[in-house]
Amino acid sequence: MRNETDKATIKQVPSHVAIIMDGNGRWAQARGLERSQGHVEGVNTVRRITEVASEMGVRYLTLYAFSTENWNRPKEEVDALMHLIGIAIERETPDLIKNNVRLTMIGDVERMPSDALERLRGCIARTSHCTGLNLNLALSYSARWEIADAARRIASDAVAGKIDASAIDEATVSSYLTTAAMPDPDLLIRTGGDLRVSNFLLWQIAYAEIYVTPTYWPDFTKEAFREALAQFGCRERRFGLTGEQVRAI
């Protein structure tokens, strides 16, 4: 008998899933552990969710791994997290290649420590031929940084005569964002229970379905991810139209 969250039963698999991975610190503190232990456990969840996203046929998985605002956390936590991300990505590279997963990253990554950045760039180069899931890490990322950066480059190209200022439209703006090469997220998942979007992909999530679970990121299982996809499959996406109009398409 088929389970409701089996791939074949899910009505519509989202092409792009974006995740705010929250709750590592609270997961650790609830166990009397250092917050950084929560991030260590969070890496295991990254591996698990990358696997299940790939199994389910998701094309793009964008993970909010480090925000611009996260630079203001205590230095020890930032250093530990940067080290962890670099080490984990290097360690996982052979498996990513084996599973045909391509790594990309978005964000103001030049701010990252050079050793973590080198490891990430190494993985990006070694997985660039992969044609399966695109695992996209948002690192030193915030949507307001991204939009301001795009505005600066659009203005500069307009002044240089490369684009016509009066012809700038939504497609132009999208093409200057860090996600220009990918579709907008269909589904935004947030773990840890908070009901906010925390400066993540603000332009791109205009019509994303939002799924919030109280589960802390280290406890987020493959089955929980499949449940989010199953719920997404049951939503009616209207994009501003009426239900009748959508059903007539």
Active site members? 22, 70
DSSP state of 183: P
Residues that bind ligand FPP (CB under 6 A): 21-26, 39, 42-43, 46, 63, 65, 70, 85, 88-89, 137, 192, 217
- Please check whether residue 215 is in contact with residue 238, taking contact to mean a CB–CB distance below 8 angstroms: no
What one-character DSSP code corresponds to residue 214? S
Distance CA 128, CA 130 (A): 6
Nearer to ligand FPP, 10 or 49 (CB): 49
Judged by beta carbon, residue 85 or residue 101, the one nearer ligand FPP is: 85
Distance CA 10, CA 85 (A): 32
How near is the Cβ of 36 to ligand FPP at its closest, in Å?
9
Q: Smallest distance from the beta carbon of 124 to ligand FPP, in angstroms?
A: 13
Name which of 185 and 192 has its Cβ closer to ligand FPP: 192
**Residue-by-residue DSSP string for 41-101:** HHHHHHHHHHHHHHHHT-SEEEEEEEEGGGGGS-HHHHHHHHHHHHHHHHHHHHHHHHTTP
Distance in Å, CB of 46 to ligand FPP, minimum: 5
* 202/230 with CB nearer ligand FPP: 202
Q: How far is the CB of 44 from ligand FPP (least distance, A)?
A: 9
Q: Is 29 helix (H, G, I), strand (E, B) or coil?
A: helix
d(CA 136, CA 81): 17
